[in-house]
Amino acid sequence: MSFKDLNNEPQAELLQRSLERGRLGHAYLLEGEDMETLETAARTLAKTVNCLKPARAGAQKLPVDCCDTCLPCRHTDAETHPDVHWLRPESKLRVIRADQIRGLLEVIHLKSNEGGYKVAVLAGADRLNTQAANIFLKTLEEPPPRSVLLLLTTEPQRLLETIVSRCLRLRFGTGATPAIRAEDRAWLETFSQMAAAEANSLIGRYRLLGLLLKRLAEKKASLERDLEERSPLKHHEEVEKSLREKWESELSAAIESEYRHQRMGLLRLLQHWLRDLWLQTLQTDLELLHFRDLPGLRELSGRINAQQARENLTVLEQAQRLLLTNVQEALALEVCLLKLRL
């Protein structure tokens, strides 16, 4: 994927203008609701600065987009480029630890292997523990030449202000209507129809819970297949035991971290749906709704009042906060769905 494939993202255009003028920043904080979009943007920028056949623009004819086909581009997509380094939360606590940051900084300060840019991508930068963040600060203040540091987060409020202040912030997915995959919209339509048909019955709530847990399980299975395919374990069978164990640990942590992001994304989709339900109970302008044509919403808005609809948003927000802790997922979601007024 190249920048032209991110044509609905104004922040991608901003990055391209910076490239065209030769004014690329040394550190960017990419934030948004969808980690996959953030990783795509980071990967595209990493490909562009190291591409062998880039698209060029401006008076200086500087690279502004990748070809997506040359060897460095393919290595970057596979996360095997020697100058592009990815860091994701590890360990049972799903944090980015100090020793991970030290290892990253060692390679970032080395000379480029292929004469291009050194790129470091911290996916889930909000998971930096305090010690790791403090170590990383010095490099943010004094970055090595020809390097780009990309911090990706769906929860920027968790980052230290000292980290945020040293980065250029770009928020992806800023449109009024959330970007939704076709399969997620189809799932939401089913959820909305089921919620309207069950008339607030207890068994209906458990059917909704089953529908939600099934969708989450599908997402986890899909990302497991994707990350396993991209893991170096898939492409390097003959490696030392210690390196294999390290890769296995990184893969396990990456799966758990990305699953949490995808779970939060699905809950945000439900949040938009509940917001629309609330706005319908207020009989407000339908143009404000994300899903004004979604089946079941109108029927639901006739069963509850605006206060109850507003309380639903609070209930879901409480569940989202609980899921940031070590609470059992199914239990937190069960309590949430039982409390909703539908």
How much is the pLDDT for 311? 92
CATH number, domain containing residue 105:
3.40.50.300
- Does the pTM surpass 0.75? The reply is no
Look at residues 53, 129, 122 and name the one whose alpha carbon lies nearest to residue 85: 122
How much is the pLDDT for 93? 62
Q: Are residues 158 and 186 in the same domain?
A: no
Q: Are residues 138 and 206 in the same domain?
A: no
Residue 177 in any domain: the answer is: no
Residue 154 in any domain: the answer is: yes
Residue 257 in any domain: the answer is: yes
Q: Are residues 115 and 26 in the same domain?
A: yes
Q: Are residues 145 and 27 in the same domain?
A: yes
- Per the structure, the count of domains in the chain is 2
Q: Are residues 311 and 186 in the same domain?
A: yes
For residue 228, what are the domain limits?
182-339
Say if residues 81 and 46 touch (Cβ distance below 8 Å): yes
b/e map 125-145, b = 16+ CB within 10 Å? bbbbbeebbebbeebbeebbe
- The ranges of the chain with pLDDT < 50 are 175-176
What is the DSSP track for 222-256? HHHHHHHHHSHHHH--S--HHHHHHHHHHHHHHHH
147-153 sheet: strands from edge to edge: 84-87, 118-123, 147-153, 27-31, 168-171
pLDDT tens digits along 284-329? 666 667 787 788 888 898 899 989 998 999 999 889 888 877 789 9
What is the DSSP track for 52-78? SS-EEETTTTEEEE--S-SHHHHHHHT
How much is the pLDDT for 146? 92
How much is the pLDDT for 212? 96
